[in-house]
Amino acid sequence: MYVPFETLPGHSRIWIYQSNRKFSDNEVTEIEEATKDFIADWSAHGQGLEASFKIEYNRFIIIAVNQDVQAATGCSIDASVQFIQSLEQKYQIDLLDKMNVTFKLGEHIAHKTLIEFKKMAKEKAVSANTIVFNNLVNTIDEWQDYWIVPASESWHNRFF
């Protein structure tokens, strides 16, 4: 069952999917509608999941589940991945490749492969102070506190 994102408890589990490109405003509207429809019907073992989502920076889809009501299970997680794959196909985007890095260059949001990011670090084009998106956070609380951080405070720090 869909609920407003802000009503979910901070310990709700999240999954972050980053796009390899920025969504157009029309795509955001369509993706929001499709995601809301998916979440409205999303369930685990026949029980509706109390869940929500956000789209941030026209680039990230963040799905959250209140595990206190009903935990997401293997099958329900598989269903969400299949939904994300359907978005990838429809919009010709990459949302599941975890070997990509998204970071800020001034006000611009850049998206590079891990190999390209490592090269940029070696060439000092990015530094430990570069603001990165740490998509490995697991809860809403972690997302609020540790999603957008200097590379030195994330798994990205290994490159500096």
- What is the per-residue pLDDT across 101-133, written as a single tens digit (0 to 9) for each? 999 998 899 999 999 999 999 999 999 999 999
* The residue type at 16: I
pLDDT at 138 over 90: yes
Q: Concatenate the DSSP letters of all residues of 63-113 into one string.
A: EEE-TTT----HHHHHHHHHHHHHHHHHHT---S-TTEEEEEETTEEEEEE
pLDDT band, very low/low/confident/very high, at 30 (cuts 50, 70, 90): very high
Give the Cα separation of 29 and 47 in Å (integer).
Answer: 28
Radius of gyration of the chain (CA): 16
**39 burial level (CB within 10 Å; 0-12, 13-18, 19+):** buried
CA 74-13-86 angle, 5° bins: 55
**Residue keyed to tokens 């030195």:** 152
Q: Tell me, what's the pLDDT at 71? A: 79
pTM reported for the whole predicted model: 0.94
Check: CB of residue 42 under 8 Å from CB of residue 48.
yes
Question: Please, which residues have CB within 8 angstroms of residue 119's CB and are 6 or more apart in sequence?
Answer: none
Task: Identify any residues that bridge with 54 across adjacent strands, giving them in sequence order.
Answer: 62
pLDDT at 44: 81
Q: Which pLDDT belongs to residue 70?
A: 84
The whole-number pLDDT of residue 147 equals 97
Tens digits of per-residue pLDDT, 35-84? 999 999 998 888 889 999 999 999 999 999 999 988 788 889 899 999 99
Choose among 107, 103, 96: nearest CA to 156: 103
Q: How far apart are CA 61 and CA 122, in angstroms?
A: 30
pLDDT of residue 134: 96
